[in-house]
Amino acid sequence: MTWLAGLPPRYVLEDPWMLLWRAGRQIAVNSPACRDDCDKAITLFRTRRDAAGAYLAWSTATFSIAYESISADLFDPWLALFDTLRREFPEFPSEEIEARVANSMLLAVTWRRPQHPDAESWAERAFELSRGKSDVNARAQTLFVWVMHHIQSGNFRSAVAAVPEAWQLATAREGPPLTAVIARVAIAWTWLAGEKDSRRAATEGFALAKSAAVANGDCECLLNLAAMALHDGDADTASGRLREVEKRLGQSGQAYRLWYHSYVTWEALVRNDPLKAASAARSTLQFMQTGRPWDEAVGLTLATLALHESGAKEEARQQLSHLLALAERMRSPFVEFMARLIDAHVAFDRQHDAAAVTSLARAMQLGHQGGYFHMHGWRSSVMARLCARALDAGIEVDYVRSLIQRRRLVADVSVSADVEIWPWPIRVYTFGRFAVIRDDEPLTFSRKVQRRPLGLLKTLIALGGREVREERLIDAL
């Protein structure tokens, strides 16, 4: 840059390639200046009918927005400009340039405009072209955004399908630490799809990001580890992860602050601390303007739950309205799934049962279609009550029973009118007959039945099933 600064300004300002070269050198140190140079370069490239230069400058500017991580709103004028460039230059000069543009478009539509009509085609093209690259870091970045695109759009199957390739990149000997971290972050996010290796990926990714000083990689992994712990109801482990995130917020963008406060809100909900949850929810709402619909959807999900549980019913209603509108705008069945479950939960609490059942039916339909068994804001007690209501109403019975079994939900008999329909792991019938049913199948034995254990079980039940003294049990046997 020193020799470039020594040139007369007009030599740089009149040469679009010089402007583009200077822009590329400024991505990490001065992103606004980078985009200003790209804008000027594109104007000159268009005048000269240079498609290659115009697309490269556009891609550089778009990448700088993602790198800067201040607000995805900045993508808007560049997406509009891209439409203009496509009309002027409908053919890409080379596959290499097409790959860079496809990757930049995938970035832009994932973080800013997931409802873009061509989002899926750009995702497919970026993923396809990245596989031919020798640059493992570029491949890992494309794969990460691919996973995020499908997670937030609710296509969990496609997200999980990328996990084997992500592990290949994560464990490649020739790959730099950055590649290994990015690939592991991609895998970590698949916890929402129930991917069994997501926790290991996040744990390894955090250790590697910390030792190699990979910017933001440690925060990404810590936040996913916190989410997994909260999803399991483990508030203590989540709290430790969140404390580590808090130490790093000074060097992170606004999106990380939003995620941090969102998960602090979730932690308070898991601890049944509605006042702390409401306070954290209001902090979450202060950092909502990231310009990224996915961030805002998760923030609104947790803030709405917290405000409702704290008694701020009107405030919760307003945020729920925003969340439902955002789900519709994003065209994301997964975001709508979360929003409809919250809508049902709130409506049942208000004793608006008809409206609650309508929302619950829509949520369970989406869950069935998308294979959703995990979500932000999950609390087993709340989901158990919603599942009981769904079974009573005959809503998506097979899916709901599967959800109960996979997540090992415990029935709330005060909610369900019919305990028989709940998929108990073990049922014991004692009236008129004695039978033991496990996972809806009669218990069978591979050898002669052991009479003593069954006799003991029958006696325990006959004596009340609880708090039976040993002396009384021995006498009965």
Q: Mean pLDDT score of the chain, rounded to an integer?
A: 90
pLDDT band at 135 (very low <50, low <70, confident <90, very high): confident
Q: Residues 152-172: what's their mean pLDDT?
A: 95
The rounded percent of the chain whose pLDDT value lies above 70 is 86
β-strand 426-429 against 435-438: which pairing, if any?
antiparallel
Contacting residues for 429 by C-beta, under 8 A, at least 6 apart? 435, 436, 437
Residue-level pLDDT at 172: 87
Distance CA 350, CA 362 (A): 19
User: Would you give the distance in Å from CA 26 to the centre of its chain?
Assistant: 31
Tell me: the pLDDT tens digits for 26-57? 998 899 999 999 999 999 999 999 999 999 99
Distance CA 398, CA 421 (A): 11
Residue-level pLDDT at 252: 79
pLDDT band at 439 (very low <50, low <70, confident <90, very high): low
Tell me: the pLDDT tens digits for 238-272? 999 999 999 999 877 889 999 999 999 999 999 99
Distance CA 321, CA 319 (A): 5
Residue-level pLDDT at 466: 67
Among 201, 196, 204, 241, which Cα is nearest to 223's? 241
Is 344 within 8 Å of 359 (Cβ atoms)? yes
Enumerate helices (H) and strands (E) in the chain, giving the number of each.
25, 3
Helix (H), strand (E) at residue 394: none
Among 133-142, 157-166, 387-396, which is the least confidently predicted range? 133-142
pTM: 0.89
Rounded to 10 deg, the angle between the 95-111 and 51-68 helix axes is 30
Among 121-125, 132-136, 335-339, which is the least confidently predicted range? 132-136
Helix (H), strand (E) at residue 354: helix 353-370
Rounded to 10 deg, the angle between the 353-370 and 397-407 helix axes is 70
Q: Residues 298-323: what's their mean pLDDT?
A: 97
Residue-level pLDDT at 127: 94
